[in-house]
Structure 1
Amino acid sequence: MPFPDDEQIMKTAQGLLEGFQTVFGKHPGMRPAHAKGILLTGTFTPTAEAAKLSSAQHFNNPSTPVWVRFSNSTGIPNIPDIDPNADPRGIGIRFQLGNRKHTDIVSHSVPFFPTRTGEEFLEFLKAIASSPPDAPHPNNVEKFVGANPSTLAFVSAPKPPPKSFATQQYFSVTAFKLIDAAGKETFIRYHIVPEAGVDTLDAETVKTKDADYLQTEIKERVNTTPIGFKILAQIADEGDVTDDNTVHWPESRKVVDLGSFKLDDVLADNAANQKYVIFDPIPRIQGVGPSDDPLLEVRAALYLLSGKERRAA
């Protein structure tokens, strides 16, 4: 995962890192966003359809080991699972391809992202940081949301807390391209769907839960039975926008089942491994490629910067 050579990307990524730390506090050794999480291990098994669309190793091998990290939103390491700010929840899926080679899918639990670019998201963070509770209305963040329809859509999207990380669905937001053996490219967006079904909690039930109910529940669940998810791909039609995460494709677009993963254990030395692992939003392998979405490069740079800082803590 090399550093980008684009000076503006690195400047924006550094600004985002500092912006998250301004909003959520500086917590050495922890992620600046999605700080609270848990790593599980399991196995991914592709479908025959996946091999038709992509020459990637994990879509063609009979099976591939995976690490999967479930997480809460914000950079607050001890944020209660019942806090509304803990949504959207996140998932990072690492396909372990051998010889220290891997590729990742990074997604969260709403099909929206608040801005198209990293620069716009940095402005959003600055607006949040400069809007204390006693600021007169409309404060800076209210002004930003009011002026940006994609941010309003993200903020307004329903985010009911899940019954379990295992009953939450996740969306990749940005587009990617699957590339077959002949070089044909198919633009897709990932949709990670729980085999147990989507199951969320109402406001009254949430009040009965404790601050770590998701962490506790997922450990108990995986000790009892494997946790399953399907990886679906929504396929773009000719002319669909693939370089703007705030533009959604119609629900009528074809959806293909790429395979499923089963999680059967909590990863040993969980805290140490969470501190060490740096997920990469850009695939960087044969058979899967990034789109031209500008958010990808800046997210990758931010993950790398924060990962290096985390490891050095």
Structure 2
Amino acid sequence: MSLVLRLSAIGAILLGAGAAFTYVAGWLAPQRLGPDRITDALEKHDGLHPGFRRAHAKGLCVEGSFQGNGTGLTLSRAAVFEPEPIPVIGRFSTGGGQPYAPDGRLVFHALALSLVLPNGEQWRMAMDNAPIFPVATPQAFLAFQLATAPDPRTGKPDPNRVAEFLARHPETQAFLDWQRYAPLAASFANGTYYSINTFRFVDAMGEQRFVRWSFVPETPFEAIDKATLAERPANFLFDDLLARLSEAPLRWHMIITLAESGDPVDDATRAWPADRSSIDVGTLTLTRAAIEETGACRNITFDPTILPSGVAPSDDPLLAARSAVYATSLARRDGEPAEPSALGRDPAARSAR
């Protein structure tokens, strides 16, 4: 990859993976790396935008339900897999800490979910449209932030610092290659969303299995031409989602993938082989959307370590402190005014245009 392309891709990660560090966080050594330091780094990259999330700042609330088909109970005792509908509050977003950024950027498309079980337990998920993450540890993420921080004189990352970082982190280069060549869904509705990290499922007998999951759409996949992204309307992804939901519900199947011996369970930069066993355990149905000023998702921290009985985190270091950064971001924006988002008009009026 030429230096120009490499810097362009790094810039995309700054808006996507960098902002998606709401999905990472450093807490392995609090005396050296804590949630405030990471949150400060995110604000430095994309600027301070009071009232908005420090990562994935541009988003839209959604509501619906999840209904298990009973198959998941063979893997986990979690009540969510019972064949009964569970209410869901969710959020679609694009990567980056700039709430008014255009949708036509090569960044993460994300889906976050909060499921409330009948017994009061909750399961929260934060997923991206990429099956791998650019870095494996919180320390590496902070190093990435420092290496790619815009130079005040040029407004762009220093190419020497970028090159040095990539030389030390081939896993990040692997992500850049994936982002450059993998097809990108043309809509939130036809994208697949991945847990990225590994979790443990615990069944009724106490047996544990390492798993990852994905939400696979019923809407047929259609790729967008990446060369035309910059030409798209500023809110084309969100306008498309609003229009689709105004016409009919949207559905995804939750697919659980089982690890086999030797598969990495503590490294989010490494994908599992494609031949691993997968099981369809239920269907997510989304029925309506709302802007964050009026929607139910604004003050939810989609902390993926909030888990029901029968689901537990793995030893992936990226999971250990996600809740700390989520909490830090929420505490900061909770004391700030809720500014109008880029989508800040009534969804019904916008989708009826």
TM score, norm. by length of structure 2: 0.81
Judged with a 3 Å threshold, the aligned counterparts in structure 2 of structure 1 residues 239 and 6 are, in CA distance, closer, same or farther, namely closer
Q: Distance in 2 between matches of 1:46 and 1:180?
A: 15
1:209 alignment partner, one of 232, 250, 253: 232
- 2:98 aligned residue: 76
Q: Is the 8 A contact 1:232 1:255 kept in 2?
A: yes
Alpha-carbon deviation of 1:253?
0.8
Judged with a 3 Å threshold, the aligned counterparts in structure 2 of structure 1 residues 263 and 10 are, in CA distance, closer, same or farther, namely farther
2:139 equivalent to 1:119: yes
Q: Is the 8 A contact 1:10 1:301 kept in 2?
A: no
Alpha-carbon deviation of 1:238?
2.2
Pairs within 5 Å for 1:142-161: 142-158=163-179, 160-161=183-184
Alpha-carbon deviation of 1:303?
1.0
SS in 2 for 1:83: coil
Alpha-carbon deviation of 1:234?
1.2
* Partner deviation per Cα, 1:207-262 (whole Å, 9 max, x = no partner): 55200011111111001010011111111012322112122211111111121111
Q: How many residues align?
A: 308
Alpha-carbon deviation of 1:57?
1.7
My pick for the range that moved more, 126-135 or 193-202, is 126-135
Alpha-carbon deviation of 1:150?
0.9
SS in 2 for 1:166: coil
Q: Distance in 1 between matches of 2:136 and 2:275?
A: 23
- 2:222 aligned residue: 199
Alpha-carbon deviation of 1:47?
2.1
- 1:59 aligned residue: 81
RMSD: 2.4
Alpha-carbon deviation of 1:50?
0.6
Pairs within 5 Å for 1:22-41: 22-41=44-63
Q: Which runs of 5+ in 1 are unaligned?
A: none
1:93 alignment partner, one of 110, 113, 121: 113
SS in 2 for 1:139: helix
Alpha-carbon deviation of 1:178?
1.1
Judged with a 3 Å threshold, the aligned counterparts in structure 2 of structure 1 residues 100 and 35 are, in CA distance, closer, same or farther, namely farther
Alpha-carbon deviation of 1:299?
1.8
- 2:162 aligned residue: 141
TM score, norm. by length of structure 1: 0.90
Q: Is the 8 A contact 2:151 2:158 kept in 1?
A: no
Q: Distance in 2 between matches of 1:177 and 1:285?
A: 11
Alpha-carbon deviation of 1:141?
2.1
Q: Which amino acid aligns with 1:112?
A: I
Q: Distance in 2 between matches of 1:134 and 1:68?
A: 34
Q: Is the 8 A contact 2:111 2:126 kept in 1?
A: yes
Q: Distance in 2 between matches of 1:116 and 1:276?
A: 28
* Partner deviation per Cα, 1:45-68 (whole Å, 9 max, x = no partner): 112211111111211251101112
* Partner deviation per Cα, 1:103-157 (whole Å, 9 max, x = no partner): 1111101112111111110110111115564779642123212320111112221
SS in 2 for 1:121: helix
Q: Is the 8 A contact 2:51 2:334 kept in 1?
A: yes
Q: Distance in 2 between matches of 1:136 and 1:177?
A: 38
- 1:170 aligned residue: 193
Judged with a 3 Å threshold, the aligned counterparts in structure 2 of structure 1 residues 204 and 126 are, in CA distance, closer, same or farther, namely closer
* Partner deviation per Cα, 1:9-59 (whole Å, 9 max, x = no partner): 894322110111000101111111111011111111112211111111211
Q: Which runs of 5+ in 2 are unaligned?
A: 1-25, 337-353
Q: Distance in 2 between matches of 1:7 and 1:208?
A: 44
